[in-house]
Amino acid sequence: MSSGVSASLQARREQALPRGVAVAFPVYAQRAKGAEVWDVEGRRYIDFIGGMGALAVGHSHPKIIAAVKAQLEQFSHTFFGSIPYQGYIRLAERLNALAPFSGNSKTLLVTTGAEAVENAIKVARYHTGRRGVVVFRGSFHGRTLLTLGMTSQIDPYKRGFGPFPGDIHFSPYPSPYRGPSASEALEAFKDLVGSQTEGEQIAAVVIEPVQGEGGFVAAAPEFLKGLREVCDQLGAVLIADEVQCGFARTGKVFAIEHSGVEPDLVAIGKSFGAGLPIAALIGKADIMDKVPPGGLGGTYAGNPLACEAAIAALDVLEEDGLAARSLKIGERLTDGFRALNQTTNRQIIGEVRNTGAMVGVELVEDVLSRRPATELTSWLIKDAADNGLLLASAGRFHNVIRVLVPLTTSDEILDEALAIFAGSLARAADRTYA
């Protein structure tokens, strides 16, 4: 796949960048529009990675471009803590109005999803005067030292980077396909906070309503309701990490809205900024206001250009009905993926699951044993890229194809992607294991 200019760039990358900065494909972008990317060689790809979930409105949306250009002509940066500006306030007001909980809310703008999660812990600890944090197996919360400590997966994220901050406790996350069940996971959580930790020292419970790196697994409503009840009993803060599953990706603005459960704090990022680096912590006003002046912020937090991009992205979300479109995309892709298992010589799709357009295709060596097909998944992703479809994996065993396609994508492009995937799946199914 790499030749000419791409090969030269690949060599330069290897010379200039550390090995830890991984690149999945030697595909160097030249331009992009919607769900399509053209590389420096002029080859076209359908992008089902979508900036790793950061491009719900697609590449180069005209409203985002116009908003950023208009702001750039005014000023690009001041540092809000010294010279504030309207964009930060307007964006906070928009997010407060969307917050998935009743009562007054307030918003802190930051730069990355990990920063939003880390500030959520800061706020929760200040509010409660406690230190303990409960997270869940399969979780991914970021790459800072604290959020790495809260992240479940060792490889490639945590190995060799410890020690990590203490007072972080892991509890099972429910999974209908691999277990445990919602009731089993809830009992394990209650046991953790009831007898294995100092429950009275738990400041926060942090959960992805739909896990991203964990394999696109959704927490059952009864599980989330159980967490809410226990948090209320303990006086702990319930934090929803919606960095990947938010911004209408699941068919609602916030994934936790599917359960009817109200969190206390919500961390958002990725698609919220339409490709520009911005994230936010939205919280109940009485909790957010506990931190004194100067305790929250950052040099680039709520950058003016990113604020205008995020406001424009929210306009697109509402005006173009992206939440409803997400449901349509999810239905079309889920039906398409499920039908493919009947077309191959060997059934290797163990499960197709989705919450809106957040679609996960779990590949197995065979459907009876459910043994994860890690090697096969890696091979299929490369084959699909060779044929013009960019995919990413997820899950504990890296055997889940995760779909993060822009929500602005047409049915025609979705169907074209399914056809490419079908070819790669058939070739993967024909492969044999030693």
List the chain pLDDT tens, one digit each, 434 residues: 446 899 999 999 999 999 999 999 989 999 999 999 999 999 999 999 999 999 999 999 999 999 999 999 999 999 999 999 999 999 999 999 999 999 999 999 999 999 999 999 999 999 999 999 999 999 999 999 999 999 999 999 999 999 999 999 999 999 999 999 999 999 999 999 999 999 999 999 999 999 999 999 999 999 999 999 999 999 999 999 999 999 999 999 999 999 999 999 999 999 999 999 999 999 999 999 999 999 999 999 999 999 999 999 999 999 999 999 999 999 999 999 999 988 887 899 999 999 999 999 999 998 999 999 999 999 999 999 999 999 999 999 999 999 999 999 999 999 999 999 999 999 999 885 44
Per-residue pLDDT at 344: 81
Cβ partners under 8 Å of residue 37, min gap 6: 27, 29, 31, 44, 45, 47, 59, 390
Residue 432: per-residue pLDDT: 54
Q: Per DSSP, what are the bridge partners of residue 240?
A: 207, 266
CA–CA distance, 431 with 348 (Å, rounded to integer): 11
88 in Cβ contact with 308 (< 8 Å): no
> What pLDDT shows up at residue 357?
98
Cα gap 43→31, rounded to integer Å: 11
Q: List domains and CATH numbers for the chain.
A: 5-61+321-430 (3.90.1150.10), 75-319 (3.40.640.10)
Give which of 241, 250, 238, 237 is closest to 208, Cα–Cα.
Answer: 241
Rounded Cα distance between 109 and 123, Å, is 13
> At which residue do the structure tokens 């989705």 appear?
354
Residue 203 φ/ψ, nearest 5 degrees: -85, -40
For the chain, the maximum distance between any two Cα atoms, rounded to a whole number of angstroms, is 64
Q: What is the pLDDT of residue 434?
A: 41
Q: The whole model's pTM is what? A: 0.96
Structure tokens at 108: 């802190």
DSSP state of 111: S
> Contact at 8 Å (CB) between 178 and 215?
no
Contact 243, 223 (CB under 8 A): no
